[in-house]
Structure 1
Amino acid sequence: MKNILFFLVTLVTALGFAFIVHEWMLQYNDPGYVLIGVGHWAMETSLIVFTVGLIISFFIFYVLFRILGWLIRLPGKIKTRGKSVKFNRSQDALIAGLVDSAEGNWERAERTLIKHASNSGAPLIHYLTAARAAHSRGAMDKRDEYLRRATKDAPGSEMAVGLTQAELNLSQKQFNQALETLTKLHSIDSSHASVLKLLHQTYQQLGDWKAIRSLLPAFYENKVFMEAEVRLLEVETYSVLLKEASEHADAREIQELWDSVPEHVKTMSGVPAIYYAAMIEAGAGANIEQELIKSLNNKWDMTLLVLFGSVQSIDFRGQLEMAEKWLLQHGNDAILLRVLGKISIKCEFSEKAKKYLAKSIGVEPTVEAYRILGNFLAQEGDQERASECYKLGLELASTQVISVASEM
């Protein structure tokens, strides 16, 4: 409408200007004329008629060329309009598909999303959402087909497609397939937080704690988890690795692993106990005896105390003297008294062993104290007292089992 109005205003202005010039020339009694000759033909007219004709011809040709240009552009406009309509429909389909997927209408969501994916400005979202919908309804072939089409129709989407594939594999407990995909993604971007998080889940499910250990620095650097979570994961990782190493009963392997444990993990509660127990199990308890004593002096711990009593020391008497020093501060500790009795047996101090074990039972009866005292009395040939210890130990164990069962 604005263009038509502009056109008319310009035409009227031009004609008005021509009329003014004509009136001005009339005052000289000479309106002017124009003569055009072509071969034997000649045309003569007044200046005003020629000017008006020229102006009208210009505007006629202008209109004709504008109409011609519009006709030339018409197919492109129709095509663009069609694309715009299809694009809008695809956007509506995407929203509808996401809503259906959220509501659990998997098949309808899948059908809606795929139908309009080729016309969408974000085909990747269509295909990935459709793949999840197909996965949810158990159509694994369709799921894989949509993921392949996503890679083909959305260049540069390898990371998004790969992460979706890995997540779906993990949900189906297809850990090896997930690991294969994630390993490829990790080679593309070793610092990608989502890849690292899924790798952690996969390795944890596969029980590959050595692989998890190799990822720990990346967890810190890329803030995959909160710092507190990474520290807990470190404790869990090295604890499991130490337990696995203890199964091999190889003291050198255990020691090398312990040397690689970060210092802040070594000080975490429970971790040193696993290391000491592994070394004792491997027959290398004497190697960690002094370190175990140092740990007990720094922090009194019942688990470490029991392990101290299991150390095959090269100097049992020195071990007994060390334990007796602790009596000054922990004289009524039933576990310490039991450990003293156990070490006294190794030192062949018969009376001292009986005294410590009896005192331990007096402070707090335990099945283990009854068992150690019973075994020792049996070795000495005192079967009657040994049987009494076994009987009391069994009664105590039965009482504890009943108490636990009643609490459940």
Structure 2
Amino acid sequence: MRRLFLLLLVALLIGAGLSLGLQYDSGYIRISLGNYLIETNFWIGVLLILVVTLALQVVLAMARRLRSGTGIVSGWLNQSAERRARRRTTRGLLSLAEGNWPRARKLLEASADKADTPLINYLAAAQCAFECGDHDAVDDLLRKAFESTPGSDLAVGITQAQLQIAGNRMEQALATLIRLRKQAPHHPFVLKLLRTVYERLEDWRELSALIPELRKRELVDKDELQRLERITWHNLLERAAEDIRRQDGERRDLTPLIKLWDELPGSMRRDEFTIREYARHLSLLGDEHQAETLLRKVLRNHWSDELVNLYGRIGGEKPDEQLLVAERWLQDRPNNPELLLALGRLSLRNELWGKAREYFETSLRLKRSRETVAELARLNAHMGQQEQSNQMLLQSVLKDSGLPNLPMPKA
């Protein structure tokens, strides 16, 4: 009402002004343009100018409103496209979960441009392409993923490495992960993937350097880490021993193996399985003295049936002293079958045949093992008791073979 009142007031004032103007002087306006001539009084000319001005204002207002309307339509169309992209992305992810790789790839890739998170679309589409066996498309989709989202190089690289590992392309995966580790040296998932690649490539040296980082970041549980560390150093010891066996000449240089032992972490140098492997390599490569010294030192403080078995197989520089050391251990472990077996073998090294047989028989009474049976049978055979030896071997074979109880012909 207020605006209407103001308009009426303005109209009245303009009308009054025009009326007074006409009474005062009508004036005269003449416009000549080529062959055209326009004549009118002054006040009608002013009125025409006002009408033209208002008309121009109306036209401009309509143009602005039309342009604004076009923007609204454009925005509505964009919103509609985004909604369709979200629906397609949802259907694509559902198809991915269902294992329908071709359909999932088609939906995810088609909706990536309008999707809220194109990175997710392209990475998921890359996985679909991998499952379809289209490795060229995988690389192309990963490139698009990288280009779609700034700062996505780590996410794209991890996905690429995972797909390369799944496709058994270990060298390419290693190159990708080394690049990623330069960007994020302590990234947990990058370190886990590196562990997998090193293990699959059997790159034990690099894996041994990675293990301390895995332990520090607590990325592997304790038991699995011990298994991983053990297999890593066992393989390094095996390779060092193999390289020594390839050496030319009669006398072999065991320095690489000994140096590698010095590099072992403390936990592995206290691990009985690793100690056994190292001592076994020393013995097989001809340094039985160092192997016997190591085992004697270890067994003095840490008992192990595995190690005492190996101790009985190794010939030290002083067999009599080696036998005395083992017999002192027997005072604390009189009923240990492995120690008794080792004592029997050490007695053989000292050519104490009767003593060796007593040790073997005592060990066999405590624990029946093929190894002890074989040692006792071999000793009996060389002592002229061939029939007894053969009977013992036959009984051992029959008992360990698990044969059913069946009737046999009488002799």
Report the TM-score range of the alignment, normalised by the length of the smaller protein. 0.7 to 0.9
1:57-110 alpha-carbon deviations (Å, 9 max, x no partner) = 999998766544333444444433333222222122111100111112222111
Take 1:403 and 1:57, find their aligned partners in 2: how far apart are those partners?
120
- The 10-residue stretch of structure 1 (157-166 or 147-156) with the greater mean CA deviation from structure 2: 147-156
Instruction: Confirm or deny that 1:179 pairs with 2:171.
Output: no
TM-score, normalising length: structure 2: 0.77
- The 10-residue stretch of structure 1 (395-404 or 126-135) with the greater mean CA deviation from structure 2: 395-404
Counterparts in 2 of 1:58-73, with a 5 A limit? 67-73=62-68
Which residue of structure 1 aligns with residue 298 of structure 2? 295
Paired amino acid for 2:297:
K
Take 1:197 and 1:37, find their aligned partners in 2: how far apart are those partners?
99
SS at match of 2:220: coil
**Cα distance change, pair 63–215 in 1 and its aligned pair in 2 (3 A):** farther
Take 2:205 and 2:232, find their aligned partners in 1: how far apart are those partners?
8
Counterparts in 2 of 1:256-267, with a 5 A limit? 256-267=259-270
Give unmatched runs, 5+ long, in structure 1. Answer: 1-8, 23-32, 45-49
SS at match of 2:402: helix
Take 2:76 and 2:25, find their aligned partners in 1: how far apart are those partners?
51
Counterparts in 2 of 1:194-343, with a 5 A limit? 194-226=189-221, 229-248=224-243, 251-343=254-346
Q: CA deviation at 1:377?
A: 4.7
Instruction: Confirm or deny that 1:348 pairs with 2:351.
Output: yes
TM-score, normalising length: structure 1: 0.78
The structure 2 residue matched to 1:102, chosen from 89, 97, 107, is 97
Which residue of structure 1 aligns with residue 16 of structure 2? none
SS at match of 2:331: coil
Length, aligned pairs only:
378
Take 2:144 and 2:201, find their aligned partners in 1: how far apart are those partners?
30
**Cα distance change, pair 334–390 in 1 and its aligned pair in 2 (3 A):** farther
**Cα distance change, pair 264–63 in 1 and its aligned pair in 2 (3 A):** farther
**Cα distance change, pair 205–308 in 1 and its aligned pair in 2 (3 A):** same
Q: CA deviation at 1:117?
A: 1.5
**Cα distance change, pair 249–34 in 1 and its aligned pair in 2 (3 A):** farther
**Cα distance change, pair 39–270 in 1 and its aligned pair in 2 (3 A):** farther
Q: CA deviation at 1:390?
A: 4.6
- The 10-residue stretch of structure 1 (358-367 or 210-219) with the greater mean CA deviation from structure 2: 358-367
Q: CA deviation at 1:328?
A: 1.0
The structure 2 residue matched to 1:147, chosen from 142, 151, 154, is 142
**Cα distance change, pair 387–79 in 1 and its aligned pair in 2 (3 A):** farther
Is contact 1:373–1:386 with CA below 8 Å preserved after alignment? Answer: no
Which residue of structure 1 aligns with residue 402 of structure 2? 402
Take 2:201 and 2:394, find their aligned partners in 1: how far apart are those partners?
41
1:262-283 alpha-carbon deviations (Å, 9 max, x no partner) = 2123334533222222222222
Instruction: Confirm or deny that 1:393 pairs with 2:393.
Output: yes
1:128-151 alpha-carbon deviations (Å, 9 max, x no partner) = 211212222333343333233333
**Cα distance change, pair 115–310 in 1 and its aligned pair in 2 (3 A):** same
SS at match of 2:113: helix
Which residue of structure 1 aligns with residue 3 of structure 2? 11
Take 1:399 and 1:245, find their aligned partners in 2: how far apart are those partners?
41
Is contact 1:246–1:281 with CA below 8 Å preserved after alignment? Answer: no
Take 1:394 and 1:246, find their aligned partners in 2: how far apart are those partners?
38
**Cα distance change, pair 224–298 in 1 and its aligned pair in 2 (3 A):** same
Identity of aligned residues (%): 28
Give unmatched runs, 5+ long, in structure 2. Answer: 14-19, 30-40, 246-253, 405-411
SS at match of 1:143: helix
Paired amino acid for 2:4:
V
Take 2:271 and 2:2, find their aligned partners in 1: how far apart are those partners?
90
Q: CA deviation at 1:336?
A: 1.4
Which residue of structure 2 aligns with residue 4 of structure 1? none
Is contact 1:280–1:310 with CA below 8 Å preserved after alignment? Answer: no
Paired amino acid for 1:183:
I
1:4-41 alpha-carbon deviations (Å, 9 max, x no partner) = xxxxx66236458879x99xxxxxxxxxx899999967
Instruction: Confirm or deny that 1:166 pairs with 2:185.
Output: no
**Cα distance change, pair 288–178 in 1 and its aligned pair in 2 (3 A):** same
**Cα distance change, pair 38–187 in 1 and its aligned pair in 2 (3 A):** farther
Take 1:403 and 1:295, find their aligned partners in 2: how far apart are those partners?
41
Paired amino acid for 1:402:
G
